[in-house]
Amino acid sequence: WEATTQEVDDWIFDDIARTFVLDREMRQFFEKNNAYALEEIGRRLLEAYERGLWDADPDVIEGLKNAYLEMEGVIEERMGDVTGDFQGGSIDVVTAAEVGEWKEKIEDILG
């Protein structure tokens, strides 16, 4: 939205980063359930920062950069030895029951 409308305030980006990437429990949830989603969130936030769409809080951007490097390490470790070309991501079939369990876990994290 920011790229087209310039309507997203910087504090919103900061809050998204703090909530979904920098929060330890939330990061562990994503690492366990969908590390690729966490990587995507981090990558998009870093892209917004690099494109000048987000004037990030210095502590937030530093934490985000460090967390992103950790995310890449987690994904690479899970991939193991891969030969040939590989572009991350996977398609996983998730049942409605599993999604319901995620909701409960996130509600526990958020309090």
Instruction: Say whether pLDDT at 2 is over 60.
Output: no
Domain assignments of the chain as residue spans, ordered by start = 2-110
pLDDT 10s digits, 12-33: 999 999 999 999 999 999 988 9
Q: What is the pLDDT of residue 104?
A: 84
Q: What is the pLDDT of residue 43?
A: 92
List CB contacts of 61: < 8 A, sequence separation 6 or more.
17, 49
> In angstroms, rounded to a whole number, what is the distance separating the alpha carbons of residues 87 and 69?
17
> In angstroms, rounded to a whole number, what is the distance separating the alpha carbons of residues 67 and 61?
10
Q: What is the pLDDT of residue 107?
A: 86
Return contacts of 66-72, CB within 8 angstroms, 24+ apart: 67/21, 67/22, 67/27, 67/42, 68/21, 68/39, 68/42, 68/43, 71/31, 71/35, 71/38, 71/39, 71/42, 72/39
pLDDT 10s digits, 38-96: 999 999 999 889 988 899 999 999 999 999 999 988 888 877 766 666 555 555 666 77
- For 85, the token pair is 């070309």
